[in-house]
Structure 1
Amino acid sequence: MQRQQYLQEFIAHTNRNLFLTGKAGTGKTTLLHRIRKHTYKNCVIAAPTGIAALNAGGVTLHSLLQLPLGAFIPDSLAQLPETQSQLFVTPRDFRRHIHLQERKIRLIQAMELLVIDEVSMLRADTLDLVDLLLRSVRRSPLPFGGVQVLFIGDMLQLPPVVKPHEWQVLSQYYPSLFFFHAHVLQKYPP
């Protein structure tokens, strides 16, 4: 209980990103619910998949941020063949792939804490796109647009999923698809 209280205080009084891990049954989801219930921060809970989002009491990252379904290439200069332009998103063209409703924009601008549960399934390219979108909507150069992010998950559970043709391209930019290889976390680790 003391550790949970310490973590809640740390989240409440800092803006640092955190990675909370532990084996199944160690209380990660219970702690997530306590944080949501007791934090004064404007908190949004999300997960990579629908089932994980339901279990956490949140929404999918794709639904929350209206992310495109294509893979994200973190290189503005990437030249894609016309046949692949619908399969991939780059920093140069991501705005035309994202159509946020006004209420989503307000939600993102007000967000102070983003909790991502079951983070073992979150792909590195998706996290880099989340970072780019939050910086853009919040008009902030800070990682994740200044939103504190709490990553929760067990890395020994389900891994991220990628189609072979996506990995063929993404492997040029990432050593693996695990979230911790996202460029934003390589530059600003939790």
Structure 2
Amino acid sequence: MLFLPWSNEEEDLIHIIHEETFELYKDLIRQKRSEYVHREANEFEKAFEEHTERGNDDDIDDKNIEYDQDKNEFLIYETGNNEGDIFVEMGINIRTEKVEHFNVPKMIPDADYQRLIRSLNNNQRKYTLNVMNLIKDSDKQFFHFINGGAGVGKSTLIKAVYQSVLRFYNSLPGSNPETIRTAICAPTGKAAALIDGMTLHSFLSLPVNQCKHKLVKLDSGISNRIGVKLKDLQLLIIDEISMVGFTMFQQVDARLQQIMKSREPFGGVSVIVSGDFNQLRPVDDKYIFQFSNSYNALVDNPLSSLFELFELTEIMRQKDDKIFAIALSNIAKGMMTL
């Protein structure tokens, strides 16, 4: 009835016999439908009629059917070893070989990049230049934590850094755009999609179930294949760091050391993390700056101690409404604005 004019919903659409109404106005409906649907007007009706005819041909009187008893009807088929597998329970699959897939970094158009850089405030611009200077000094590994409340432009800043680093590497003589020298990741699929990146689990083949167990090393073949793809990796950016737990952060470090074949923290790869610890916390784990147990506190320094803090304070999302922006920030801190 979508293509039939009406004036009273109760009388013209609800309290009617739809089949009779369609038959009465079908020519008008088909005419109107053809104006808006760029296919044959009665295509659906034809398909429905053909389906009905096939159904009629397939109708068979059950009385004429002869049922043949399959001698193997009650045969119990072997489904393989059903015993519990501790590796599967730990989120480790040692029976199937995983196909690794990496998103090749993509540069946005120049006009969009220039617009992005112009949108940065003074602190964001200074930080971007600072990172670019560190990147150009390729021998120096660095660890940064970009902190700030909601709306201060953390995601915009890491996008600007990511695109600037991509442009620098792709401008080098003999560079290959398919080479992965920088990567941007997040702990969840939704967060990764928002930054056009990958999840940490996909990028580093981490087990989905952390299980609080020590990370089992990758098979040498898989490790070598990933190593070939990531051998030139210089910078890893992790967004929404508040959702990355202590265990996962340790796994990221261990996996990069294995892949890059280096005992340096994070395999010698520079790392930028971004997030707000007033937002979502890790699931069934502690924050990255908290020890998972008292024993770790005695023998280890947390990886978070390596990171230098860069704090964003200027609210960009609601920059034209300062009072509202302050109110939102105070709510996140558990304070009420008077």
| Superposed pair shares fold, TM > 0.5 | yes
**Is 1:53 equivalent to 2:172 in the alignment?**
no
User: How many angstroms apart in 2 are the aligned matches of 1:189 and 1:155?
Assistant: 15
The question of whether the paired residues in 2 share the 8 Å contact of 1:119 and 1:152 is answered with yes
Give 5+ residue unaligned stretches, structure 2.
1-120, 135-140, 170-180, 286-291, 309-338
Match 1:183 to one of 302, 327, 330: 302
The question of whether the paired residues in 1 share the 8 Å contact of 2:226 and 2:259 is answered with no
Partner of 1:75: none
Q: Secondary structure at the match of 2:227?
A: helix
1:94-132 per-residue CA deviation (whole Å, 9 max, x = no partner) reads 115897365532233221111100000001111111101
**Is 1:90 equivalent to 2:214 in the alignment?**
yes
Partner of 1:70: 209
Which is further off, 154-163 or 1-10? Answer: 1-10
The question of whether the paired residues in 2 share the 8 Å contact of 1:64 and 1:104 is answered with no
In structure 2, relative to structure 1, the CA distance for the partners of 1:57 and 1:133 (3 Å cut) is same
Deviation at 1:143, TM superposition (A): 0.8
Deviation at 1:183, TM superposition (A): 2.9
Q: Secondary structure at the match of 2:217?
A: helix
Q: Secondary structure at the match of 2:266?
A: helix
1:15-40 per-residue CA deviation (whole Å, 9 max, x = no partner) reads 31100011111111111111111113
Match 1:132 to one of 254, 265, 274: 254
Partner of 1:27: 153
Root mean square deviation, CA, Å: 2.6
The question of whether the paired residues in 1 share the 8 Å contact of 2:262 and 2:268 is answered with yes
The question of whether the paired residues in 2 share the 8 Å contact of 1:140 and 1:146 is answered with yes
Instruction: For 1:183, give the aligned amino acid.
Output: P
User: How many angstroms apart in 2 are the aligned matches of 1:3 and 1:98?
Assistant: 44
User: How many angstroms apart in 2 are the aligned matches of 1:99 and 1:19?
Assistant: 34
In structure 2, relative to structure 1, the CA distance for the partners of 1:52 and 1:145 (3 Å cut) is same
- Normalized per residue, which structure has more strand? 1
Give 5+ residue unaligned stretches, structure 1.
72-86, 164-169, 176-180
User: How many angstroms apart in 1 are the aligned matches of 2:293 and 2:229?
Assistant: 33
User: How many angstroms apart in 1 are the aligned matches of 2:184 and 2:307?
Assistant: 20
In structure 2, relative to structure 1, the CA distance for the partners of 1:161 and 1:98 (3 Å cut) is farther
Q: Secondary structure at the match of 2:222?
A: coil
User: How many angstroms apart in 2 are the aligned matches of 1:101 and 1:142?
Assistant: 17
Q: Secondary structure at the match of 1:140?
A: coil
The question of whether the paired residues in 1 share the 8 Å contact of 2:223 and 2:259 is answered with no
User: How many angstroms apart in 2 are the aligned matches of 1:69 and 1:156?
Assistant: 24
Partner of 1:44: 183
What is the identity percentage for the equivalent residue pairs of Structure 1 and Structure 2?
30
Deviation at 1:184, TM superposition (A): 2.4
**Is 1:7 equivalent to 2:124 in the alignment?**
no
Higher relative contact order (CA 8 A, sep 6+): 1
User: How many angstroms apart in 2 are the aligned matches of 1:99 and 1:29?
Assistant: 35
